[in-house]
Chains A and B, each alone.
Chain A
Amino acid sequence: SQQGEEDPQALSIQEGENATMNCSYKTSINNLQWYRQNSGRGLVHLILIRSNEREKHSGRLRVTLDTSKKSSSLLITASRAADTASYFCAVTDSWGKFQFGAGTQVVVTP
């Protein structure tokens, strides 16, 4: 079964708007990562947040982690058409096992 469950499954927004997607997981984790995948291509690593961190920023990306709720959110600010992609969270649990979530498909229209 998937470790990370993401919502929403799909998100459609206009350029300039913010996009927020969430990921929930089931076990204790070492870290959580977010990846982007453009239309069936390879995965691009976006950001890693460790279990002892609560928030992390990278450019227009902001990731939060709430280990008490076993959840994380990815915020993309001022979205662009080029942000159209599928976004996946992935967790490494306390035993070192690495698993992806189901993903959120984001469409940004000009």
Chain B
Amino acid sequence: SQTIHQWPATLVQPVGSPLSLECTVEGTSNPNLYWYRQAAGRGLQLLFYSVGIGQISSEVPQNLSASRPQDRQFILSSKKLLLSDSGFYLCVGTRFSYEQYFGPGTRLTVT
């Protein structure tokens, strides 16, 4: 079965600092991968999704970017964090239409 690894679990960063969150997949190849963000008390907002290496779709205009340099690696980045970037970041992998795998998430606090 597929396992999604995410790190770090928690992160505190100052405003204006860069960000790099990594998500790696174990146990399957060619998954669809997603980055979601959940602000405090809110729903899960789809940020990016990828159907393959180098293929990224952006759902929401923002100061974040994503890359998929390898089939099983999905990276979320920012050059300069904003306070509004605080939240819970979740990497999700899907395989076929009925299998979804969730990473443990990263709780980001921008101060």
Instruction: Say yes or no: is A20 at the interface (Cβ < 8 Å to chain B).
Output: no
How many residues on the A side are at the interface (Cβ–Cβ under 8 A)? 25
Interface majority SS (helix, strand, loop, mixed), chain A: strand
Interface majority SS (helix, strand, loop, mixed), chain B: strand
What residue in chain B is nearest A2 (Cβ atoms)?
A: B43
Q: B98 and A48: CB pair below 8 A?
A: yes
Scan A53-90; emit 1 where CB is below 8 A from any B CB, else 0.
00000000000000000000000000000000010101
With A31-B97, A96-B94, A100-B36: A42-B102 Cβ-Cβ less than 8 Å:
yes
Could you list some 26 contacts between A and B, CB below 8 A?
Answer: A1-B59, A2-B43, A30-B98, A40-B40, A40-B88, A42-B102, A43-B90, A48-B98, A86-B43, A88-B44, A92-B97, A92-B98, A96-B32, A96-B51, A96-B94, A97-B32, A98-B34, A98-B49, A98-B92, A98-B100, A99-B46, A100-B44, A102-B43, A103-B42, A103-B43, A103-B44
